[in-house]
Amino acid sequence: MIQKMTENEQQRLFGEWLKTHKGLFFKVVRAYAFNPHDQEDLFQEIATQVWNSVPNYRGDSKVTTWIYRVALYSAIAWLRKENRHREKLKKIDGYGEALLQASTTRHPRIEWLYDQISQLEPIDRSLTLMMLDGYSYKEISATLGITVSNVGVKLNRIKKRLTEKSNEETHHGI
């Protein structure tokens, strides 16, 4: 029989995940939202979905791939209803900001990379983030639910595109 998780356990586990994998949250936010308001909104959305998903985590997969799956799908779903979210942001402003800008100085190479990612299709952004974070084709395939060969085809195309872009845009100092 499946035991129901208490809210305290949920909070403890979520706190741990947030502490250990906050970089993952930030990368997804940065790849899918492009101004501070949207980033705040998306961060809240991802945090909420990950929080809701905690009781369903059974340990069958790595915590990072679980968080990635939830965060990526939240981001893709958030993109679809962006306008509605803008309205919602006004309503949840009362809670204060959950995401703070840590640094105003941005590394131009990382900025360039995020710019390139932002120009990709939402699904391709998911693949790119996982690829850059060093996940294998097999892990990406298991997280997204598509075949390994499909992942390979898509990633080869993305890699080719990114390489071509970087060669074209030398003025970015890369």
Partner 1 sequence: MEFEDMKVIWDSQEKAPLYAMNEEGLHDLLRGKGRKFRRLIFWQQWQSYLSSLFVVLVIFAILGAHFLGAFNEPGELAPTTGWDVMALLVAAAYWIQFAVSIYIGQKRQERREREFAGTLLGDVDRDIEQTRYQITTRRNIVTGFIPPYVGACLIQLVVFRSQGLSEWTMVPVIALLIFCLIVESRSQQRLVDQTMHPRLRELETLRAKLTDPES
Q: Which chain residues interact with partner 1 by CB under 8 A?
A: 7, 11, 14-15, 18, 22-23, 26-27, 29-30, 39, 43-44, 47-48, 51, 56, 60-61, 66, 69, 72-73, 76-77, 80, 92, 95-103, 106-107, 109-110, 113, 121-123, 126, 132-134, 142-146, 149-150, 153-154, 159, 162-163, 166-167, 174
How far does the chain reach from its first CA to its final CA, in angstroms?
Answer: 55
What is the Cα–Cα distance from 136 to 25, expressed in whole angstroms? 19
Smallest gap from Cβ 3 to partner 1, in A, equals 16
Gyration radius of the chain over CA positions: 17
The minimum distance between CB 146 and partner 1, in angstroms, equals 6
Query: In this structure, are residues 33 and 39 in contact, taking their beta carbons and an 8 Å threshold?
Result: yes
Q: What single-letter amino acid sits at 102?
A: A
Residue 89 vs residues 81, 95, 134, 146, 155: alpha-carbon distances, Å: 12, 10, 33, 33, 34
Round to whole Å and give the CA distance between 27 and 22. 9
Beta-carbon contacts of 132 under 8 Å, excluding residues fewer than 6 positions away, are: 113
> From the CB of residue 103, how many other CB atoms can be counted at a distance below 10 Å?
6
